[in-house]
Amino acid sequence: MMFTYLCILILTQCYPTVISEDNIDNDPASSLVRPEIWNWWDYSDGVSGPALWGVYFPLCDAGRFQSPINIESRYLSFDHQLTPIYMNNSENAHGTLHNDGRNLYITIALDSNRKIEIGGGPLQYRYRPVEIYIRLTPPSLGDDMPRGSEHQIDNRSFHGEIQLVAYNIDLYKSYIQAQTSPKGIAIVSSMLMLGGDASEQLRYVLHQAELLNNTQRPSDIELHNLDIKKLMAFSPEYMTYEGSLTWPGCFESVTWIIFNEYQQILSTYLQTLFPNILRFVTNRRSLVVGTSVHRNVRTNIGLRQWFRSTTPSSSSTCQPMNNVLQYQINDDFGISNS
């Protein structure tokens, strides 16, 4: 079950290279740096955490378009040209679920993702998914405040965040090249909150994650028959902004798309996964001080309320119905009101 978390108050007074499919690769992000550097970092508060990533990657400290950010609903910019995000051929994908000690993530098999494409909305090119990150934080005794998501909305975090990472296949020959290049990456995000049971696809992934601890083999499990679109709980309404990767490199090459719906998960998943299976304390980058200020975050939330037909018929000709849209977050993260 999914719920929206922004409600709408309507004021009713009146190096680019075109390449072939044959050379596409989706090597993991670790290929960007020397192994001794890549294996050094994590998301902790210590010497290997985000506070010192800038030693190797100056953008992590000096970048002005870093992610994640706190989205302030009152400053959202309504954009009626933001069409729904589409994903083609998302069914029956195959991948591998990994627990590398700092992340729980899925790599999508190359033979599965060659036909999968994402586009629409702010994306002017076609993007191909390569990885899915599941951001979670272990529950704290006596602490009911959610803390697992990277992004915040009106200074509120969620219990988790699932992020689909895709790269621009129109301009770049590989995931590696796209990460350091303009318009190279799109990350589609859905928030997670404790509550009812998860969707069928998310429940399948979390159940497989529970099994990671029950094998003597490396912490990898093959996943079959994934429906990525259902796993991500695609929604026609979302927020979008230009930002960065949230792992070392911190390259400002990302178009972020955050759906205005969250998915529910049972607290038992967190209790099972931590600390026996997932060995990290956290796998999210905290907000960079000042990174949210003056960021242009656009949204299409309220598109149906914003336009109305010019005739009683089913004509597709529409005109603006109101001059201003204002947004605020629901106190209970409940269903949005029109």
Mode of pairing for the β-strands spanning 123-136 and 152-153: unpaired
DSSP code for 140: B
CB 143 within 8 A of CB 117: no
The structure tokens 């009911």 sit at 144
In single-letter form, the type of residue at position 175 comes to Y
Catalytic annotation on 262? Answer: no
- Start-to-end C-alpha separation, the chain: 20
- For residue 72, count other CB atoms closer than 10 A to its CB: 17
The structure tokens 């109101």 sit at 322
Catalytic-role residue among 167, 172, 241, 327? 172
Tokens of 251: 């390259």
d(CA 206, CA 134) in angstroms, rounded, equals 10
In single-letter form, the type of residue at position 243 comes to G
Please state whether 223 falls in left (phi above 0), alpha (psi between -120 and 50) or beta: beta
d(CA 272, CA 65) in angstroms, rounded, equals 36
List helix spans (H) across 95-236.
110-113, 175-179, 200-211, 228-232
Catalytic residues: 172
